[in-house]
């Protein structure tokens, strides 16, 4: 697999994520779009690292750290979404006018 193919796939993932994050109203779908954007960025970074560093494990370690940060971000985001739903009964962005109460 060549670098160009991997970068095209990464750009496609990022583009689909941007579209998903900007076009949806559901909190969960917005978060899925953000996760796809991060996956595209990680794929681009790891593939660039692989083809430039020639087998150095630092790129793989960077990907693992980035995925761990993504997992923490998703857990915090879903906790916020659950809290907003419990307090305001809002499951889409239009129902939340202001975050202050």
In this predicted structure, what is the pLDDT of residue 62?
84
* Domain boundaries along the sequence of the chain: 3-95
Residues of the chain with pLDDT under 50: none
In this predicted structure, what is the pLDDT of residue 37?
94
In this predicted structure, what is the pLDDT of residue 84?
81
Q: Write the secondary structure of the chain as one string of H (helix), E (strand) and C (coil).
A: CCHHHHHHHHHHHHHHHHHHHHHCCEHHHHHHHHHHHHHHHHHHHHHHHHHHHCCCCHHHHHHHHHHHHHHHHHHHHHHHHHHHHHHHCCCEHHHCCCCCC
The fold for domain 3-95 equals: Helix Hairpins (1.10.287)
């Amino acid at each position: 697999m060549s670098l160009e193919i991997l970068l095209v796939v990464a750009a496609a993932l990022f583009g689909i994520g941007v579209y998903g994050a900007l076009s949806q109203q559901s909190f969960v779908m917005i978060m899925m779009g953000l996760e796809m954007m991060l996956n595209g960025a990680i794929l681009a970074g790891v593939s660039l690292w692989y083809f430039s560093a020639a087998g150095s494990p630092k790129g793989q370690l960077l990907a693992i750290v980035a995925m761990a940060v993504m997992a923490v971000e998703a857990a915090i985001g879903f906790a916020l979404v659950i809290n907003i739903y419990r307090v305001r009964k809002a499951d889409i962005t239009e129902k939340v006018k202001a975050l202050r109460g």
